[in-house]
Amino acid sequence: MPANTYKFIYDDYGNTQAIEVKARGMATQINNYLNKGSAFSSRERRELKLEGLLPPGIRTLPQQLKNSMSVFEHKTSALEKFIYVRSLFDRNVTLAHALISSDIKRLMGIIYTPTVGLACQHYSSMFRRANGLHFYPGNIDQAEEILSRYGHRNIRVAVVTDNQGILGIGDQGAGGIAICLGKLMLYTQGGGIAPWHCLPISLDVGTDNQELIVDENYLGWRHERLKGDQYIDFVQRFAKAFKNVYPTAICQWEDFSKQNAFAIRDSYLHDLISFNDDIQGTGAINLAAIITAMKIKREPLSSQNFLIYGAGAGGIGIAEQLHTALMAAGLQDQAARNKIFTLDSHGLITSDRTLEPYKEKFAKDPEMLEWYSSAKDGKLLNVIKRAAIGVLVGTSGQSGVFNQEIVQALMANNNRPVIMPLSNPTSKAEAVPEDIYQWSAGQALTATGSPFPALKGSSGDIRVGQCNNVFVFPGLGLGTIASGAREVRPSFFTAAAQAVADMVEGQDLRRGILTPAVDDLRKVSLTVAKAVGRAAIKEGISAPCAYSHFQHHDDPNRLDTLIEKMRWQPQYLPLPPSV
């Protein structure tokens, strides 16, 4: 529906209170922000000229939700369920989000990992309706004009991908935008950022996936990926246009290749309100799990030695966040680095190797390690033993590499080691939590990247904590928006990690669980948002919120009120007709 046919009406907190409708009849039904389906009231049917276009019966939102869940349950495959939810979203945003929030733990696995990986692979063949924006060399010169068309939606956050590093399945070309769609649905679910304020964006710079190039159904730009100066120029054009059109909106970079992920994040740290969730969100949620483990062990973070097995964007992101947290705990820069060991496919990352730039920060000087004389000394087991590792993090994608010998070596260093096999999907996890539990006699503390069944403990089932970025980015986005911060600082992620860790308490702590339950996503996101907002105030970069008349003026209590009040919930809004 054209922008001039409806208008959002906001309260003092920047939350949508109503949508003024200029359109009438079927034009109202085909807009997924306005459409209520069978829930249009009698008055709305009269005023919006819907009489005769709907059966006479009127359902409430709960009745619609019950019916939609029944349809959802009858879908036999995860991909069919994904298609149904996305189709519902395209028809009726409010009902779709009500469905997701009714069982967020289960539905998150449909709208995001792991099912969204299949959606990326089948994007072109199951294409139904355009969502978001696709920039490619043929239209990048028009980027400002294209972005401006969405100005009426008051865009507050965009998730932007170049489609190259998707969920362990690599280059998916134009299909990568499905990741952006899923992530933005979680911004809404957790952070309460209304769906019309969210914008998914694909930077289609081509694909090196030959299966896509030869697929007659492929909808993306049929060209090998731009590289070098051409690639940089393309991203620069987009970033300039985005800043000009949406100077106060968050730009989240998503699923870029390892080197591009770091280079782009660092290039726009101060030019855009931007961050890379694969790097920084991953770092924050895993720091949260480690902080929780330290509470359980009653040991300071600075007393541990850490090993990151897998030096991609996520692995180095975790190392960066640990380094920031160790310095916040009182260690000097080099002392903090000395506690973090990183391994890639060639073994321990050392400064005498030729390295990608993003790996250099945590490379060890071989001459400073008395136990290291050659590459063979840099193997996983030897590093664990010689460096007295107490926290082992897996981001390698190598199934089963954390075997019984590895677990026992960790137990020899620390009677309660922290072992985190994070690789997705479950088939690529470095270890199965049940095995870690058995090999350590229940003493190891573990959290995973993928969901795993509960462990069978002597006093009942023990939930396996999941290091899911969803505990971080929705709240981080909301806190950044509400605080008016004009950049995303490393301290925001430290604050988010501490906030997530603080949400694990009581019986969960006593049972060794390291992260909150997914069911508590909305509550966790609220806590994270407040912590991030306060971090912005502490850093001195908080400013009046661009979307609200209720200003906090750097008062944390007023900021908390703003954060609570500006969150959208999936409830039908009034639709007053314009005159």
The residues annotated as belonging to the active site are 112, 183
- The answer to whether residues 179 and 173 touch, using CB atoms and an 8 Å cutoff, is no
Cβ partners under 8 Å of residue 302, min gap 6: 326, 329, 330, 331, 339
Helix (H, G, I), strand (E, B) or coil at 60: coil
Can you name the residues that pair with 308 across neighbouring β-strands?
342, 393
Q: Which residue, among 524, 491, 492, 488, has the nearest Cα to 505 in the 3D structure? A: 524
Length of the chain: 579
Rounded Cα distance between 73 and 475, Å, is 30
Torsion of CA 459, 463, 467, 472, to 10 degrees: -110
Enter the tokens of residue 229. Answer: 């100066």
Distance CA 8, CA 444 (A): 52
Within a 10 A sphere around the Cβ of 148, how many other Cβ atoms?
14
Rounded-to-integer distance, Cα 422 and Cα 9, Å:
43
Q: In this structure, are residues 444 and 410 in contact, taking their beta carbons and an 8 Å threshold? A: yes
User: Which stretches within 246-301 are classed as H helix?
Assistant: 258-267, 282-297
Check if the beta carbon of residue 339 is closer than 8 Å to that of residue 355: no
Q: With DSSP H G I counted as helix, E B as strand and the rest as coil, what are the percentages for the chain, rounded to 5?
A: 50, 10, 40
CA atoms of 246 and 158, how far apart (whole Å): 10
Q: How far is CA 458 from CA 35, 404, 409, 445, in A?
A: 51, 21, 24, 16
Ordered alpha helix ranges (H), 74-204:
78-91, 93-102, 104-111, 115-121, 143-148, 177-186
Rounded distance between C-alpha atoms, residue 236 and residue 242, angstroms: 10
Is there a contact between 217 and 125 (Cβ–Cβ < 8 Å)?
A: yes
Q: Distance between CA 452 and CA 448 in Å, rounded?
A: 8
- What DSSP line would sit under 91-107, residue for residue? H-HHHHHHHHHHTHHHH
Residues in CB range of 507: below 8 A, 6 or more apart? none
Work out the burial of residue 437: count CB atoms within 10 Å of its CB; fewer than 13 is exposed, 13-18 middle, 19 or more buried.
buried
